[in-house]
Structure 1
Amino acid sequence: MNISIDVKELDQQTTMTLAGEIDAYTAPQLRETAFPYTEKKQASVVIDLSGVTYMDSTGLGVFVGLFKSLNANDGTLKLVGLSDRLKRLFDITGLADIMNINSEAEGGV
């Protein structure tokens, strides 16, 4: 149960590329790495999930927290590269209706 997190910062945008599993064991590492970037005023965070093979409710909770933190600081969160399985997870929980989700990874991400 591993996760790798690659972070790139350019101006006000932070891009994180995740690979592996996001579950109860790896979610704290993701939270610890990602939250400092959400606390900056008007930050833009793009998270590429194309390398994520599994995510449970703990992982969803991390994304809800990131989303709330960015909203509180007038920032934005965009999730890209979701597999059909991850997209469905966000759809059935209703999170796809409030979060900016794109199943296609963006160029340069």
Structure 2
Amino acid sequence: MDINLDVELIEEETVKRLVLSGEIDAYTAPKLKEALLPLTKQANVEVIVDLENVKYMDSTGLGVFISALKSSKEYSSSFKLVNLQERVERLFKITSLDNIISIENTVRGGN
């Protein structure tokens, strides 16, 4: 089982784009949290998390994104998830988190 998560940060002035590849679970969530939360603690930045290459995520990942959402509200930054695989998006829908976390551009594909 691959328990790797690659995190790449692309910074463009007030936009911080975190591009993730791999799996988000109990093993990799701390790495994600370490990269993501400091970004949401900057006022007036737009934090975009690109999940196009994340094939698997469990509830631990949801917890990190909930923390990021709370943090972004506290520090007046914006936070959204983009390019979710259907399987990952389903997790947000089942838990109704798609109603509170901004999600754009679901990736259709993968048979």
Normalization by structure 2: what TM-score? 0.90
Counterparts in 2 of 1:83 and 1:92: CA distance versus 1, 3 Å:
same
Counterparts in 2 of 1:60 and 1:53: CA distance versus 1, 3 Å:
same
RMSD of the TM alignment (CA)?
A: 1.1
2:4, 2:85 → 1: CA distance?
18
Give the letter for the 1:51 counterpart. N
Structure 2 match to 1:22 = 24
Counterparts in 2 of 1:87 and 1:104: CA distance versus 1, 3 Å:
closer
Structure 2 match to 1:78 = 80
2:56, 2:22 → 1: CA distance?
7
Q: Could you list the runs of 4 or more consecutive aligned residues of structure 1 that deviate by over 2 angstroms after TM superposition? A: none
Q: What percent of counterpart residues are identical?
A: 43
Normalization by structure 1: what TM-score? 0.92
Q: Aligned residues, how many?
A: 105
Structure 2 match to 1:11 = 13
Secondary structure (helix, strand or coil) at the match of 1:21 reads strand
Structure 2 match to 1:69 = 71
- 1:1-109 → structure 2 map (5 Å cutoff): 1-104=3-106
